[in-house]
Structure 1
């Protein structure tokens, strides 16, 4: 048995700096936001044929306000409903599989479970909200959990958009940014939500009764997600050589 030099642990301050540096490296190694962004962007593009060639049904409710009465109808797309419910759950399963394989390959643990649970939970809430909206047309006043939904209110319109698939995707991405401690992803997600919830159309609109009236909304949302995916993938590829050195 021979004696050899043992590296000095250094001062407590140096040790703390080393722990912080290692924590940052682990977090960067865990990050893979480009994959869920890209996958969800492709799913958003995949919703275009479902919306265009879906099976539309009308649900009508009668109302009376004083001497005025009539009917308010909600048109729902069965194919789009089935598509988003199935696609989001499958997407989060694929993201979970990707994250586990990636973490095993790199030898770094991943905390993707909260994101997957939040994504599936939000998808389930989206399904419940869609079913509720079919039987409660937005043209009438409704009350839910003490909150009165006035059809003329901008808050009501915002809540209906938030319950749409684009809003559900954004909320789940906020959870992912929290899990990964990724400020860049949080900033991107807030920008994405601002554009899809306002909504911002960049001057591109298609009015009803055109069967393509939904196209600007889906295309813009998909483009944002895909561009974000490319941006995060490029940023990660640039950082990797510095981290490996």
Structure 2
């Protein structure tokens, strides 16, 4: 009797794990976030202000405020609906709500950080206008949309108990926080105007982030159950 009960419990756990794997929509989440990152580029260029003089250039990325809060709310709503539909198709529940809430919180954080930066930094440049230490750059990237996307993906990995997504997200955060070059480290050939040079230098990091998310989406889509 004890052996039969243990076998039944093992079967239930195996079935639960299989259902959880079948209803994963990791590739949908990554695809939606990659698309949001690509669409953000023209908004960033359009709403960026740049002021240059003999000492250098200052800039503000107001597109972060105008675009990303609404974009993230829409993106996480689309992702949540995708998970809910997958769960209903299989007649099971889903725990995507905490992930959607995390996404909404990231939109609030971006709004708060953007407003604070717009109000403070133009008249109070950090570090007396000198070069920023790398820890500051890492912190700045963490509260930017692509850093907060990584934190939300960690929540999704925990909800799905998805080890592959966890390690993908760790690699993604390392790429975003430590590897992607800063604006100062990017030079666009044949562009002599410093203001335009600064604007265009913000495009490459966003393209790298979008490419990483899209590559992850393709990989997880191909690794879906039944695709092998």
TM-score (norm 1): 0.77
Q: SS of 1:11's equivalent?
A: helix
State how far apart, in whole Å, the 2-side matches of 1:114 and 1:39 are.
18
Structure whose residues are more often helix by fraction: 2
Q: Which moved more, 1:114-123 or 1:132-141?
A: 132-141
Q: Could you say if the C-alpha distance between residues 241 and 192 of structure 1 is closer, same or farther in structure 2, counting changes exceeding 3 Å?
A: closer
Query: Contact 1:45–1:219 at 8 Å: present in 2 too?
Result: yes
Structure label with greater radius of gyration? 1
Q: SS of 1:20's equivalent?
A: helix
Query: Contact 1:141–1:151 at 8 Å: present in 2 too?
Result: yes
Question: Which of 193, 203, 207 is 1:219 aligned to?
Answer: 207
CA deviation vs aligned residue, 1:39-81 (integer Å, no higher than 9, x gap): 10011111111122225277xxxxxxxxxxxxx9963233342
State how far apart, in whole Å, the 2-side matches of 1:91 and 1:197 are.
22
Structure whose residues are more often strand by fraction: 1
State how far apart, in whole Å, the 1-side matches of 2:174 and 2:203 are.
18
* Residue pairs, 1:15-54, within 5 angstroms: 15-54=8-47
Ranked by relative contact order (alpha carbons within 8 Å, sequence separation 6 or more), the top structure is 2
Hey, what does 2:226 align to over in structure 1?
240
Q: SS of 1:198's equivalent?
A: helix
Task: Give the total of aligned pairs.
Answer: 212
- Is there any run of 5+ residues in structure 2 with no aligned partner, and where? 189-193
TM-score (norm 2): 0.82
Say whether 1:157 aligns with 2:137: yes
Hey, what does 2:191 align to over in structure 1?
none
Query: Contact 1:39–1:91 at 8 Å: present in 2 too?
Result: yes
- Is there any run of 5+ residues in structure 1 with no aligned partner, and where? 1-7, 59-71, 143-149
Runs of 4+ in structure 1 deviating by more than 4 angstroms, as ranges, are none
Query: Contact 1:206–1:215 at 8 Å: present in 2 too?
Result: no
Q: Could you say if the C-alpha distance between residues 46 and 241 of structure 1 is closer, same or farther in structure 2, counting changes exceeding 3 Å?
A: closer
